[in-house]
Amino acid sequence: MPDHRAIAHPPLGVLLREWRAARRLSQLDLALAADVSARHLSCIETGKARPGREALARVAAVLDMPLRERNALWLAAGYAPECPEHALATPVLERMRQAVELILAHQEPYPAFVLDRQWNVLMANGAAMRVNQLLMDGRESRHTNLLHQVFDPADFRDVIRHRTGGRRDDAMRRLHHGAHGRSAQARGDARGDRRSAASPSRSTPARRWSTPRA
């Protein structure tokens, strides 16, 4: 489980305003739907009041926040996170990992891979590895992050330019738009914010893609 204390989270008021804006809700709309007073909600957003856990849970439910973002909300309000978070490689997710590996294996001979919310490739099947090596002319990619690999001029970017012709710019725009769309859904995730701000061509070399165990 990640150490939440080591991750800087935005203030509670900032998170609430950003999520309200994302859901296109006014303070009054959110207050009525969450059964809190508009004045109290305004004081929460300005840092003049601290919400109770139950009231905050109602606000998060109205905003339809993902569980990970609710954890950020609890932490910003001074509460312990409610939902545990585990890396895919942890023993507690062994059964889940086996199911994912089976799905990847059944995609053969078609390439398939597993991405996290920051576009890191967590697992890939053999077909994905073979296609990657083919497109890279046998060279090993420096990246395990798909966005970094696609936008790196020394990696997939030139491959996409040569193989898609005039459709390259459209493909790049779609991928760029999708990346920013995911980032907008993770406003409370400091790691996601840093990932979105990073320059793909300047990322540091990382470990290779991993394939499911035999």
CB 150 within 8 A of CB 29: no
Which uninterrupted H or E stretch holds 89? Answer: none
In this prediction the pTM is 0.55
CA distance 30 to 24: 10
Question: Domain end: 41, 76, 111, which one?
Answer: 76
CB 15 within 8 A of CB 187: yes
Is 15 among the domain residues?
yes
Whether residue 174 has pLDDT greater than 60: no
pLDDT of residue 155: 77
Helix, coil or strand: residue 51: coil
Is 189 among the domain residues?
yes
Question: CA separation (Å) from 98 to 87, 109, 115, 185, 209?
Answer: 14, 19, 16, 28, 17
Residues 69 and 98 occupy one common structural domain? no
Please state the rounded mean pLDDT for residues 37-49.
93
Question: Domain end: 76, 102, 134, which one?
Answer: 76
Is 55 among the domain residues?
yes
Residues 198 and 132 occupy one common structural domain? yes
Whether residue 145 has pLDDT greater than 90: no
Is 172 among the domain residues?
yes
Please state the rounded mean pLDDT for residues 144-148.
85
**Domains identified in the chain, total number:** 2
Is 81 among the domain residues?
no
What's the token pair of residue 42? 């305004």
CA distance 20 to 63: 7
Please state the rounded mean pLDDT for residues 16-20.
94
For the domain that residue 42 is a member of, what is the CATH number? 1.10.260.40
Of the pLDDT bands very low, low, confident and very high (cuts 50, 70, 90), residue 172 is low
Is 110 among the domain residues?
yes
Helix, coil or strand: residue 124: strand
Residues 100 and 189 occupy one common structural domain? yes
Least confident stretch, 46-55, 57-66, 127-136: 127-136
Residues 63 and 27 occupy one common structural domain? yes
Residues 98 and 155 occupy one common structural domain? yes
134 or 171, which is more confident: 134
**What DSSP string describes 49-91?**
----HHHHHHHHHHTT--HHHHHHHHHHTT---SS----TTSG
Residues 109 and 163 occupy one common structural domain? yes
pLDDT tens digits along 95-137: 999 999 999 999 999 999 898 888 889 999 999 988 888 877 7
Residues 195 and 100 occupy one common structural domain? yes
pLDDT of residue 190: 42
Give Rg (Cα) of the chain. 21
Burial profile 106-134: b = 16 or more Cβ within 10 angstroms, e = fewer: eeeeebbbbeeebbbbbbbbbbbbeebee
Which structural domain, as residue segments, surrounds residue 62? Answer: 4-76
User: In the block, which residue shows the tokens 């849970």?
Assistant: 57
pLDDT of residue 169: 57
Q: Kind of pairing, strands 113-115 and 121-124?
A: antiparallel
Residue of 92, 151, 93, 94 lying closest to 119 (CA atoms): 151
Of the pLDDT bands very low, low, confident and very high (cuts 50, 70, 90), residue 29 is very high
Is 28 among the domain residues?
yes
Is 192 among the domain residues?
yes
Residues 96 and 191 occupy one common structural domain? yes
pLDDT of residue 14: 93
Residues 149 and 69 occupy one common structural domain? no
